[in-house]
Amino acid sequence: MTIHRTPAIEGVSTTKTGAGSTNSASGFIKAIESGSKHLIIKRFTLRYPEQKLKLTGDGYQFDPKRGVGIAGYRGRHILFHDKCTGCQLCAIACEGIAEAIGMVKVDEEWKQNKKSIMPQIDFGKCVFCGLCVDACPFYALYMTNDYELSSFTKEHLIYTPSQLAIKPKYDGDVELKIDKMGATHG
Ligand code: SF4
Ligand code: SF4
């Protein structure tokens, strides 16, 4: 017959030795401390979608001239058609990550984009890593604060170049406050 042993949980003693009792007591004290702290900390929950967190800034960007990323939320991308050259570097960057970017034909004519191709992004595959933004040398692709991408169909998660060009409306109104007690909201 095989006997299965349940592994010991950190801070909880499974023996009756002196050391085990000390661990057990310190685990108990930590649990009480943690529980008491949460009695005075304001709970961080929002009544979404009635309440939405106010995200500041424009979303994640990358400055190719300086070679630095500009911190921001990594939500739905925005594509600037007047800057996109169709170089495909964003799609190549995504190949080893999620294969979420496909280059597609657009009806528009831009002198910087001879082949008239631009990225479309499948948000059913995208992992929001931002590498495509880092790869774009022409300030054409950034991310935004838009995280409301849920859809009933997979097809609706594929954003064409025209859809990516639309600046998302973001109506978050609840301010995030961070202090030494943690994060709370108003
Ligand atoms: S952010 Fe999305 S689309 Fe861009 S490289 Fe990462 S997975 Fe691909
Ligand atoms: S978005 Fe940037 S990297 Fe992608 S095709 Fe356009 S210019 Fe090239």
For the chain, the first-to-last Cα distance in angstroms comes to 59
| Together in a domain, 11 and 80 | no
For ligand 2, is residue 94 a contact (CB within 6 Å)? no
Alpha carbon distances (Å) from 26 to 19, 31, 32, 35, 116: 11, 9, 10, 14, 66
| Together in a domain, 87 and 157 | yes
Range of the domain at 8: 3-37
- Mean pLDDT value across residues 108-135: 97
Closest ligand 2 atom to residue 103 Cα is: 5
Q: Is position 91 within any domain? A: yes
Q: What is the pLDDT of residues 139-152, one digit of tens each?
A: 999 999 999 999 99
Q: What is the pLDDT of residues 16-46, one digit of tens each?
A: 455 667 788 899 999 998 888 777 777 678 8
Distance 152 CA to ligand 2 centre (A): 29
DSSP label at residue 135 = H
Residue 99's CATH number: 3.30.70.3270
| Together in a domain, 83 and 157 | yes
| Together in a domain, 65 and 31 | no
Residue nearest to ligand 1 atom 7, measured at CA:
126
| Together in a domain, 27 and 71 | no
- Cβ atoms of 133 and 62 closer than 8 Å: yes
| Together in a domain, 13 and 100 | no
Ligand 1 pocket mutation pick from 131, 158, 164 by most atoms within 8 angstroms of CB: 131
Residue nearest to ligand 2 atom 8, measured at CA:
87
Per-residue pLDDT at 174: 84
| Together in a domain, 159 and 77 | yes
Task: Tell me how many domains the chain contains.
Answer: 2
Closest CA to 173 of 50, 74, 76: 50
For ligand 2, is residue 141 a contact (CB within 6 Å)? yes
For ligand 1, is residue 130 a contact (CB within 6 Å)? yes
Ligand 1 pocket mutation pick from 61, 121, 158 by most atoms within 8 angstroms of CB: 121
| Together in a domain, 108 and 145 | yes
| Together in a domain, 19 and 69 | no
| Together in a domain, 32 and 65 | no
Reported pTM: 0.77
